[in-house]
Amino acid sequence: MKAPRRLKRGAFLIPSLLTTANMALGFYALIQAVRGYTLGVAGAQSFDRSAVAIGWAILFDGWDGRAARLMNATSDFGRELDSLADCITFGLAPAFLAYAWGIAAVDPHTAGPFAEHLHRAGLVICFLFLVCGAARLARFNISHDPIPANPGKPGKKYFVGLAIPAGAGVIAAIVHYENGQVNDWVGWPVMWMAIVLGTALLMVSTWRYYSFKDIHFNRVNIVLIAAVFGAIYFNSEIVLLLIAVIYTGSGVVLRVAHMFRRRPHPQAELTPAEHTQ
């Protein structure tokens, strides 16, 4: 009887190890972002390492839950540990990276009060990204009633709002696309704050995003996944940015399509008396 019990303990341990790896990558990403912050414009390599670490963490985060379900090793402890790890890796680390790379390291041509207000606004918006990410995790943990017809409760095929790993992926993909090089355009910090703020708001929205939880590992899907990983290997900067932009924009497209589908036809609003005239 001891062997099956040990196997069951090992089954619960594997998803937790994957979650711990996710947390370790988040810690490393945060350290590299801090290092880039101290170096400023010269910290491009550290910024890029931070972004790459977040990208690897997204991969581990996708596998820990799937491994737990495949091994029938889901638990409340694993769910809470996963949420805490996600808050560090996909909340705190990308929020600080967004501020250090896109705000603090940029040397605007206009010095003085403008730069001071710019940094304060950047701190607020990047902190808002962290708050929205934590709120997104909390909402996900307490949602137990999926209803596909309701855009606020879209079922297993869809997430409610942009998932926090995807939100962090937007930040990391843009930084990695630039290879960590700081953009010296004077208007860049304002545009960057708009991107970070928009991503934060999408996380707490009720817009639907495909979850990929219903994908099965058949031959076609395995070939497609291998092709995506091959493209990332040969040109990670462009491919990862395209994935981030397309996936983030997919929720906007679904929302707009849903609004048009629900718009009543003008003839449907006519009363029976009006139809007879």
Q: By C-alpha distance, which of 174, 207, 227 is closest to 47?
A: 174
pLDDT of residue 273: 43
Our CA angle for 157, 162, 167, nearest 5°, is 135
Residue 45 lies in a domain: yes
- Say if 233 falls within a structural domain: yes
Residue 221 CB-density burial (10 A; 0-12 exposed, 13-18 middle, 19+ buried): exposed
Rg (CA), the chain: 22
- Whether residue 272 is contained in a domain is answered as no
Residues in contact with 153: Cβ distance below 8 Å, sequence separation at least 6, in sequence order: 143, 145, 146, 147, 160
Q: What are phi and psi of 112, to 5 degrees?
A: 90, -145
Cα–Cα distance, 239 to 159 (Å, whole number) = 23
**Inter-axis angle of helices 113-142 and 76-87, to 10 degrees?**
170
What distances in angstroms separate CA 147 from CA 135, 154, 156, 160, 161, one per listed residue?
A: 21, 5, 9, 11, 15
Spatial distance between the Cα atoms of 62 and 21, rounded to a whole number of angstroms: 12
DSSP secondary structure, 222-237, as one string: HHHHHHHHHHHHH-HH
| CA–CA distance, 6 with 32 (Å, rounded to integer) | 38
What's the CA gap between 277 and 274, in Å, rounded? 5
Q: Is 270 part of a structural domain of the chain?
A: no
- With respect to residue 129, please indicate whether it lies within any of the assigned structural domains: yes
Structural contact between residues 51 and 173, judged by C-beta atoms closer than 8 angstroms: yes
Q: Exposed/middle/buried for 170, CB within 10 Å: 0-12, 13-18, 19+?
A: buried
Amino acid at 241: L
Tens digit of pLDDT at every position of the chain (277 positions): 454 555 455 556 777 788 899 999 999 999 999 999 999 888 999 999 999 999 999 988 877 767 666 677 667 777 888 889 999 999 999 999 999 999 988 865 555 677 778 889 999 999 999 999 999 999 888 875 444 444 444 456 778 899 999 999 999 999 999 999 998 787 888 999 999 999 999 999 989 898 877 777 778 888 888 999 899 989 999 999 999 999 999 988 888 887 777 665 555 444 444 443 3
Q: Which amino acid is at 44?
A: A
∠ CA(54), CA(11), CA(92), 5° rounding? 20
Domain tally, the chain: 1
**Is residue 273 situated within a structural domain?**
no
Pairing of strands 158-160, 208-210: antiparallel
52 in any annotated domain:
yes
Give me the domain span that covers residue 80: 2-263
d(CA 45, CA 24): 19
